[in-house]
Chain A
Amino acid sequence: AQSVAQPEDQVNVAEGNPLTVKCTYSVSGNPYLFWYVQYPNRGLQFLLKYITGDNLVKGSYGFEAEFNKSQTSFHLKKPSALVSDSALYFCAVRVYNAGNNRKLIWGLGTSLAVNP
């Protein structure tokens, strides 16, 4: 079955330290992968995506993600966390459904807390 998993419900990190939010996936064919962030009382905001090319993708607000085909992972990273990065992070992967339509399926989200 096609799926995406975010194994951690919550990640805590001290301000200034590097952060990683994990995502693994299972899809048929080449994966198209996305990261979104949701701040309280707001909609989701696009951070970055992997379609093809370099395995290291750079996105908004200093975030980057590394596509690892052998480990079927697409972990989100940032070298130095800010308190303002505290939010809910979602990983998503494009899949084909039974009608051969393309759509995104979403992870459950990981709550990131950056402590001052």
Chain B
Amino acid sequence: ETGVTQTPRHLVMGMTNKKSLKCEQHLGHNAMYWYKQSAKKPLELMFVYSLEERVENNSVPSRFSPECPNSSHLFLHLHTLQPEDSALYLCASSRETGGVDEQYFGPGTRLTVT
């Protein structure tokens, strides 16, 4: 349960605010991911980092900006968000990005954009 932590757990922000989500993994993994989870939609992969290098960006709007300063930390910087960006944002990690290894998820940040 404490392998992947996320802060804050809840965030309410206006459309003109700037905020950041933080994720930290204590599992020694090389890959980290940001997902968006919305009701009635499949889990959406946003970004993938492998050894601190971004290896995938799934057409995410530029108002979302990821940062991976080292293999244990991942940030998602938010600015000028839209109400439709309200969702649960999940961070995950895995040993590698090849798709064979299971991913370990944090508890998520519930984001509400007003």
Contacts and interface: CB of A to CB of B under 8 A. Distances in A.
Interface in A83-113: 90, 92, 94, 99, 101-108
A107 B107 CA distance: 19
Contacts of A36: 105
Contacts of B56: 99, 101, 103
Contacts of A104: 45, 99, 103
A103 B48 contact: yes
A108 B42 contact: yes
Contact of A45 (B42, B48, B98, B105): B105
Given A102-B97, A104-B45, A46 B103 contact: yes
A5 B16 CA distance: 38
B105 A44 contact: yes
B107 A41 contact: yes
Contacts of A94: 99-100
B106 A43 contact: yes
From DSSP, what is the main secondary structure of chain B's interface residues? loop
A49 interface: yes
Nearest to A51: B100
Interface in B77-110: 90, 92, 97-100, 102-108
Contacts of A49: 102
Contacts of A46: 102-104
A43 B99 contact: no
Contacts of A92: 43
A44 B100 contact: no
Interface string B41-76: 111010010000001100000000000000000000
Given A46-B103, A107-B42, 5 more contacts: A32-B100, A44-B105, A49-B102, A106-B42, A108-B41
7 contacts: A32-B99, A41-B107, A43-B105, A43-B107, A103-B99, A104-B45, A106-B43
Sorted from nearest, which 4 A-B pairs have the closest CB atoms?
A: A43-B105, A94-B99, A102-B99, A46-B102
